[in-house]
Structure 1
Amino acid sequence: MSAPIYSMAFIAGRVLLPFACGYFMSYLFRSVNAVIAPNLQRDLGIGAGDLGTLTAAYFVAFAAFQLPLGILLDRFGPRRVQAALLLSAALGAVVFAVGSGLSHLIIGRAMIGLGVAGGLMSAMKAIALWLPKERWALANGVFMTAGGLGALAATLPVELALEHAHWTMLFWGLAVLTVCASLTIFFVVPERPRAASQMPGLGAQLRECGRFLADRRFWRIAPVSMMGMASGMAIQGLWAGPYLRDVGGLDRAAAAKLLFLLAAALTAGFTLTGIAADRLQKRGIPLSRTMVWGVSLYAIVLAVMASGWTPTNPLLWIAFGIISNTTVLAYPILSGQFTLEQAGRVNTLLNGVVFGFTFFAQAGMGWLIDLWPRGADGSYPAEAYRWTFGLALVLLLLALGWYLRGERAAQALTAGRPTE
């Protein structure tokens, strides 16, 4: 008996939209510290190094759970896994709200990271289950718009909320919203029937994950995805706010407005990347080439930011938002080289590597900035950001060069030519 065919309206309303609620919360949690950073520094008495470590605790737990997440997604399906995980994020928000010191907040932030670890990967698994392969890039791009909306909610709306309530009350509200997202996924998303005989045992899955990590196809694309996404998330999720205040000389309200513009561009960028990749594929241009173009443009934007030239120019932040996540195309590129049953694990392995490095990117930026002395008003000099963002640019260019070298070698091997 063949599987029933579902309409796009059904898939969008009953599958993609509920998962989008979870991804919305994931990005909101990821980005909120960019706005509440001054509050945290004031209440906790911490500098850039501690602030970076606190915020990046999210990425440690997020990355550490990616391997078991992939196994769980492939064995139990995205609906049940994501609904359960979001409850951990809600509990983490409560711990963050009631925490009395830096260590308590780090624990809460890590619990949040664990709880939203499946925000994107569960949706990608659902997309792989419900949609044909040629629609994955478009669906991924449109779905990720929900993340951009979460980033939007973490800017001006949060700044306005802080005018009327303490940041701890904000996290109580986020806990309630996260529970609602969990219940929506559990009760609205249907199960996609799967043949149990196609799923290998747990031991076989773990051994297969080891083979993925040893596969040259994985490490051909992982570095550029790591450097591109990690630097983008580290800046958008935290350091854009301090950069605008310290280098751009903006007050909190003006900085929040530019952060809102950045998040709006990020939202548009997710959708535009998916649409552009989908249309270019139809014209015979592969996803890999589209990704390379996007990373090259992102490198130019990062160079301008590192130089400190026009740091408050809205066009700079619009460009950053639109193209900083172009390397998200690495996921459909990589998963398309493996079977459908392997898609959850290979994507979560890549996600684990990316987010594990993002911890070092976000915390490391804080450690580097902290090498320069703070001014009387608590700000850091422009030179600190110049060196920090400049290092991110160099690493991105090296990773892009590695990817291009691997692509040329793969093409030569396919054509039967010896590699240089």
Structure 2
Amino acid sequence: MKSTATILGMFAFGYFLAVIFRSVNALIAPNLVSDIGLDATMLGLLTSALLIAHGASQIPIGVALDRYGPRRVQAAMLCCAALGSSLFAVGTDALTLTIARALIGAGFAGALMSGFKAVTMSVPGPRQALGNAIVMGGGQIGYIIATWPTEVMVGMVGWRPIFAGLAVLTLFASALYLLIVPEWPSPGPPQKKRDLLAGLRNVFADPVVWRIAPLVWVTAGFNIAMLTLWAGPWFRDVAGYDRGAVATGLLINATAAAGGVFICGWIADRAQRRGIGLLSVMQTLLLVFLVVQIPIILGHTVLTPVAWFIFAGTGQAGILSYPWLAAHFGKGTSSRAQTGVNTGIFVLAFAVQYAAGAVIDLFDPTPGGGYEPVAYQVSFACVFVLEVAALVWFMSGRKMLEARYQKRAGSQTGAG
């Protein structure tokens, strides 16, 4: 039996690859615009095709994870991602590249949730928030690789050979899952298909999900949409950065995103030992996330480095609700609950990426060929309003959440 650290490291590696694919377009966007002839709307649609495929695959993958386990599901899905990366490497038109991004998105749809399933099966309940942070934070290092290292490689060989190489690496990762990750025994007797679907219906019928999910969806979705596409153009058009400075800004964001997940998990782990629940920690961190968006929306470039650093570091704090949901629903249904929530994140990320491009195209280009700064303000402000509404909705239901958790989990730590 492999050690828990080795297993979590393997799932962190899988998510690492997923993050590279998800975020690389923020850097190579100018290359795609010039080589393929894309406008802002098509760039947003092409890039977000990965996210919508990712989101559409979440619920089926959640059912599969609860039935077959993370080892077999993840190994199989990575073959689909490798096919998409190969197609992206040779595609010459927007349609082909969009299909390729969708295949990549579907293939990596289980990268994070399979890791969370592995945490649920191998890490004690009170430490699962930290285990999730290890998987996600390790994977977030992919944001770093998709900045300056990728910029250097694009300059040396171009973006197509990079995607060809990533296809090979993805197939290698698929083989590693079969070699390293164990098969966990089922927490109960094998479930029939109708029982699996009934469990899924129970998840979405539970008011707990609808009280937590909107806040997680809109905050994490906006964070992903920005870090994987529109942060780069924002640095160029609003902050006035050249391409080298944009790559540096994205590197700083990536470092914050990776470190922020670890720190959020560590804070939650320490807080639980002191009787402070996961949802209280999540709420506090997301309040910080909302506050730092104000200078970004207003375009205060003096505060740009600090604001974006905190934005990147706190934007995924919603994952602290995942071990809470796993405890609420139990191991046998945990993946369906977590992927059900995760679906909305990628739907929101897709919507924001695409809508931002559509709004930008409503304005005339700047003389330098960039996008109008006010377009970013309009797009970001609309999402900010949704975030505030979701936070108010979540806070108004905290007593209900605590009561439900105590009823289902008894004396387990983490109610609120």
In the alignment, what sits opposite 1:286? 277
Distance 1:199 1:133 in 2: 23
Deviations along 1:345-400, whole A, 9 cap, x unmatched? Answer: 11111111221222112111111222211123321121111111111111111100
Amino acid across the alignment from 1:154: A
Cα drift, residue 409 of structure 1:
4.3
C-alpha distance in 1 between matches for 2:303 and 2:394: 32
Matched ranges for 1:104-253 at <5 A: 104-194=96-186, 198-253=189-244
Alpha-carbon distance, 1:297 to partner: 0.5
Alpha-carbon distance in structure 1 between the residues aligned to 2:404 and 2:151? 54
Residues 415/316 of structure 1: CA separation in 2 closer, same or farther (3 Å cut): closer
Contact 1:244/1:312 (<8 A) preserved: no
Displacement of 1:315 in angstroms is: 1.8
Contact 2:120/2:326 (8 A) holds in 1 = no
Note closer, same or farther for the CA distance 1:175–1:242 as it changes in structure 2 (3 Å cut). same
Q: Does 1:51 align with 2:51?
A: no
Equivalent residues of 2:71, 2:183 under 8 A apart = yes
Tell me, in whole angstroms, the C-alpha distance in 2 between the residues paired with 1:337 and 1:383: 43
Contact persistence 2:140–2:258 (CA under 8 A): yes
Residue 160 of structure 2 aligns to a residue whose secondary structure is helix
Alignment of 1:355-394 (within 5 A): 355-394=346-385
Q: Counterpart of 1:11 in structure 2: which amino acid?
A: T
Give yes or no for the alignment of 1:329 onto 2:329.
Answer: no
Residue 5 of structure 2, aligned match among 8, 12, 15: 12
Between the aligned partners of 1:406 and 1:370, the Cα distance in structure 2 is: 39
Q: Which residue of 1 aligns with 2:308?
A: 317
Shift of 1:208: 2.0
Aligned to 1:297: 288
Structure 1: state its 5+ residue gaps.
Answer: 1-5
Q: CA deviation at 1:338?
A: 0.8
Secondary structure, in 3 states, of the residue corresponding to 1:163? helix
Q: Distance in 2 between the 1:62 and 1:92 partners?
A: 13
For 1:414 and 1:267, locate their aligned partners in 2 and report how far apart those are by CA, in whole Å. 30
Deviation of 1:408 (Å): 3.5
Aligned counterparts of 2:28 and 2:172: Cα–Cα separation in 1: 24
The 8 Å contact of residues 247 and 311 in structure 1, kept in 2 or not, is answered as: no
Whether contact under 8 Å (1:28, 1:150) holds in the other structure is: yes
Work out whether residues 81 and 108 of structure 2, in 8 Å CA contact, stay in contact via their aligned partners in 1.
Answer: yes
CA distance in 2, matches of 1:192, 1:207: 23
Equivalent-residue separation in structure 1 for 2:36 and 2:349 (angstroms): 23
Deviation at 1:333, TM superposition (A): 2.1
Please provide the CA RMSD for this pair: 1.7
Q: How many residues get paired? A: 407
Q: Secondary structure of the equivalent of 1:120? A: helix
Partner residue of 2:81 out of 89, 97, 100: 89
Match of 1:402 in 2: 393
2: CA distance, partners of 1:390 / 1:61? 26
Q: For 1:185-234, what per-residue CA distance to the aligned partner results, in whole angstroms no more than 9, with x for missing partners?
A: 11111222336x52321011112212211210110101000110000000
Per the normalisation by structure 1, the TM-score is 0.93
1:317 Cα deviation (Å)?
2.3
CA displacement, residues 323-346 of structure 1 (integer Å, 9 cap, x when unaligned): 111111121222221111000111
Residue aligning to 1:257: 248
Distance 1:125 1:412, change over 3 A: closer
Which TM-score applies when normalising by structure 2? 0.94
Deviates more, 1:327-336 or 1:389-398: 327-336
Q: Tell me how far 1:414 sits from its aligned partner.
A: 9.0
8 Å contact from structure 2 (residues 52, 102) kept in 1:
yes
Is the 2:46–2:94 contact (alpha carbons within 8 Å) kept by the matching residues of 1?
A: yes
User: For the Cα contact (< 8 Å) 1:33–1:55, is it kept in 2?
Assistant: yes
CA contact (8 A) 1:199 1:341 kept: no
